Structure 1
């Protein structure tokens, strides 16, 4: 299993719009084969910091996800609402 933590810093005026689009991404991603879990979280001390916590079966599942219509459509929207590039880290069990 591979876990991904992707943290976005969102423009303060765009948090509601980002969250609405991100929820669409979460719903579509959860339906993908190879997806184990997909969540959107908001930092308790900063409403403009939003993080996706993802778990995938393998690299093939991640590649398929990254090429999906919902990912390639929604991620550019999320980036446009953010203050910069997200911090993305992949993890695997030791």
Structure 2
């Protein structure tokens, strides 16, 4: 299993717009065959900082996800709402 942690900062006046777009991504991603879990969190100290935590069965599932229309659409629609690039890291459990 591979875990993705993707952090993003959203323009403070665009958080509601971001959440509407993100909701569609999360719901569609959860229904993908290789998805184990897909959640979005907001920072309790900074309501404009969000973190996606995703668990995928394998790299092929991630590659398939990245090619989906809902993922591509999210990038196009949410990109202008960010204050900078996403910070994305992939992890594999060791213990």
Normalised TM-score (structure 2): 0.97
Q: Is 2:53 the counterpart of 1:53? A: yes
After superposition, the C-alpha distances for 1:26-47 in whole angstroms (9 at most, x for unaligned) are 0000000100000010000000
SS at match of 1:80: helix
Q: Which runs of 4+ in 1 moved over 6 A?
A: none
Instruction: Give structure 2 stretches of 5+ with no counterpart.
Output: none
Return the alpha-carbon distance in structure 2 between the equivalents of residues 71 and 28 of structure 1: 9
- Tell me the CA shift for residue 76 of structure 1: 2.0
Count of residues in Structure 1 that have an aligned counterpart in Structure 2? 94
The residue that corresponds to 2:19 in the other structure is 19
Equivalent positions of 1:1-94 (< 5 A) are 1-94=1-94
**More displaced stretch, 6-15 vs 69-78:** 69-78
